[in-house]
Chain A
Amino acid sequence: MFRYILRRLLQMVLAFFGTTLIVYALTFAGQGDPIQALAGERPVTPAQRAYLTEKYHLDATGVGGFFYRYFDYVKNLLQGNLGESLTGRNIGDILQQAWPVTVRLALIALAVAIIFGVTAGVLAGIRRASIFDNSTLVLTLLVLGIPTIVLAPLAQYFLGVKWQLFPPTAGSDPTFYALLLPGIVLGSLSLATALRLTRASVAENLRADYVRTARSKGLVKRRIVVVHVLRNSLIPVVTFLGVELGNLMSGAIITEGVFNIPGVGFNLFRGIRTEDGPLVVGIVSVLVVVYLVSNLVVDVLYAVLDPRIRYE
């Protein structure tokens, strides 16, 4: 177990340096004029240029200079010092304000996925090839196939603007009710995947030998399903939901942008729109780290839940 976690940690460190290096190289290095790239399309005065050159050690050249600046960037990233956006706000402060909102939204989405997805998945798995099973399969395929940029604006238009069941936008200090519709939209994709995964897993485990043994021992069906099948079937689902929490936190760019929710994704959305280079790079770096860490946690969790994993 310990060795597995250690190996996984080493892999993550490698992935961390690899990804941040790519992000860094693509954004700042190898460009004609990094200072101009940082400033976007605004003019840069000589004084600003001199200040930025010294601040980012741009006078060091060659490969050594590149890595010097890269480690500068990584050090700042690890210390939580993400610099300032082009509007002069501290990116760390922006993120600090945005995280709670994003986490709340992600948790609502995850709750939607678990409550509806897993329950319906278990039912569909037990009643394979029934009407319920077939209709959920078609429905999930529809949900999986419809992109968020279609789902979010249409939900906003029909449920928010036309029939006015939900508030169409969330605003600066969103209530639970205002986050409910975006949460459902964001969670619908995970819901569909969780449902299909649970269904496949339950259906497969129902045919396992230990279920036959349990049945031949005379256990009632309810106990077989709840104690034996469910516990084994939920392993892949738990893994998926864990990865999904990381995805939901980093992938809410469209949903937060459309519903005007002041979370991390919304700031990234705005950063892309206003061509705010430092803001985009700062947020993407943090999100990549969140993504990597959540993947690690899930892999370790997987190994704890399923001992077979460790021996491969």
Chain B
Amino acid sequence: MSDFETVAATENQAARRGPSGEPGTPNQVGAANKPRSLAGDAWRDLRRNPIFWISLALVVIFTLMALFPGVFTANNPNDCLLSRQHAGPSGGAIFGYDFQGCDTYSRAVYGTRASLLVGALAALGTGIIALVIGMLAGYFGRWVDAVLSRVIDVVLGIPLLLAAIVLLKRVSSDSQWARIGAVVFVLALLGWTTAARVVRSSVITAKEQDYVAAARMLGAGNSRIMWRHILPNSLAPAIVVLTIALGSFIAAEATLSFLGIGLKAPTISWGQDIDTGRIHMREAATPLIVPSAFLALTVLAFIMLGDAIRDAFDPKLR
């Protein structure tokens, strides 16, 4: 990835923060007699950044939409009548009806759940793989690092969309959960490399710290040092990378559904709705534009949120 070096540079700084500082928490911002920590500095930057607030608001709104879609629309997304196919906006459906005569807006609202679920689960899976691999490679070094780094190189060299096509063609089940599981599995399997590199570099920095030497002197074993001392101090940069990855996973899921190999009906997914809307765009444009806007806003919200936090923690940009 292009901005990987920037990420790596961030980690080194972030890893030195000491055990207590969560990213983005106000650390003695007001206290003039104490030197400001990096996290405090970053928080001051973030508070004045409109992009941070806008994307955070969007993330909150879409999360609420995924949890309680009924609050945002009164209509049932599966209440479809062919007689009102491509009917224009009305009091009942503010963005009109689509090709099947379903409420366009209601379908877009209910589509949030599948997208966010796939994105979040894939990010979680990616995070677990990346933490394990990055931690092992960074902590043990030597041949473990050499082998794992080559594995990362090879996986990084696999084109995601092509590999996902081959893998997902193998899934014949049409059950809702099997397809969601398959998409999550494929995305996590192919998407963990960048995060693993970030974890590896921050673990390498963290393990040279004095508190690690102190813990070892007190008789702590490898697993305790890794779990209690290094993990909390190398988690923050990985979370930032995973926020951005969550956005791109949502985009990838929509792309796969668009191609017809990702999520399938009865799951409501933006990718499928965009595909249907695209085919009938000459008759009615809103069934294309509404899910497109929802998808673009969600992906943008996560990517911009991660980007804003990362920029705030990057001392090079000061």
- A: residues with CB less than 8 A from B are 15, 18-19, 22-23, 26-27, 138, 141-142, 144-150, 153-154, 156-157, 161-162, 193, 196-197, 200, 236, 240, 247, 250-251, 253-254, 258, 268-269, 272-273, 277, 280-281, 284, 287-288, 291-292, 295
Contacts and interface: CB of A to CB of B under 8 A. Distances in A.
A154 B288 contact: yes
Contact of B247 (A23, A145, A148, A162): A145
Interface of B: 2-3, 6, 51, 154, 157-159, 161-163, 165-167, 169-170, 247, 251, 254-255, 258-261, 271, 274-275, 277-278, 281-282, 285, 288-289, 292, 295-296, 299-300, 303-304, 307
A292 B77 CA distance: 44
A197 B261 contact: no
Contact of A197 (B2, B163, B254, B288): B2
B169 A27 contact: yes
Classify the secondary structure of B's interface with A: helix
B165 to A, nearest CB: 6
Contact of B300 (A26, A145, A149): A145
A24 B37 CA distance: 53
Contact of B159 (A138, A144, A251): A251
A181 to B, nearest CB: 15
3 closest Cβ pairs, A-B complex = A145-B300, A147-B251, A153-B278
Contacts of B274: 149-150, 153
Given A26-B170, A147-B255, A150-B295, A273 B277 contact: no
30 contacts: A18-B154, A19-B157, A26-B167, A26-B170, A27-B170, A141-B304, A145-B247, A146-B296, A147-B255, A147-B296, A148-B255, A149-B274, A150-B292, A153-B277, A153-B292, A154-B289, A156-B278, A156-B281, A157-B288, A162-B285, A197-B2, A200-B3, A250-B159, A250-B162, A253-B259, A254-B255, A254-B258, A269-B259, A272-B259, A295-B157
B159 A291 contact: yes
A144 B303 contact: yes
Most buried by B among A15, A141, A148, A254: A141
Nearest to A193: B2
A280 B165 contact: yes
Nearest to B285: A157
Given A26-B166, A149-B254, 16 more contacts: A22-B166, A27-B170, A138-B51, A145-B299, A149-B255, A150-B295, A153-B274, A154-B289, A154-B292, A157-B285, A193-B2, A250-B162, A254-B258, A269-B259, A272-B169, A287-B159
A138 B304 CA distance: 9
B159 A141 contact: no
Given A15-B154, A26-B170, A240-B2, A147 B303 contact: no
B271 A19 contact: no
Contacts of B247: 145
B281 A161 contact: yes
A281 B165 CA distance: 10
Given A19-B158, A149-B254, A200 B51 contact: no
A274 to B, nearest CB: 10
A226 B154 CA distance: 37
Contacts of A250: 159, 162
Nearest to A153: B278
A27 B170 CA distance: 7
Contact of B304 (A15, A145, A154): A145
A15 B157 contact: yes
Contacts of B289: 154, 157
A71 B244 CA distance: 40
Contacts of B251: 147, 149
A157 B254 contact: no
Contacts of B300: 141-142, 145-146
B151 to A, nearest CB: 11
Contact of B303 (A19, A138, A141): A141
A141 B166 contact: no
Contacts of A254: 255, 258-259
Contacts of A292: 157
B52 to A, nearest CB: 12
B166 A284 contact: yes
Contacts of A18: 154
Contacts of B167: 26
A287 B6 CA distance: 31
A193 B2 CA distance: 7
B161 A153 contact: no
Contacts of B303: 141, 144-145
A181 B2 CA distance: 26
A62 B6 CA distance: 49
A162 B303 CA distance: 30
A156 B170 CA distance: 32
A247 B6 contact: no
A203 B281 CA distance: 44
A145 B303 CA distance: 6
A295 to B, nearest CB: 6
Nearest to B311: A137
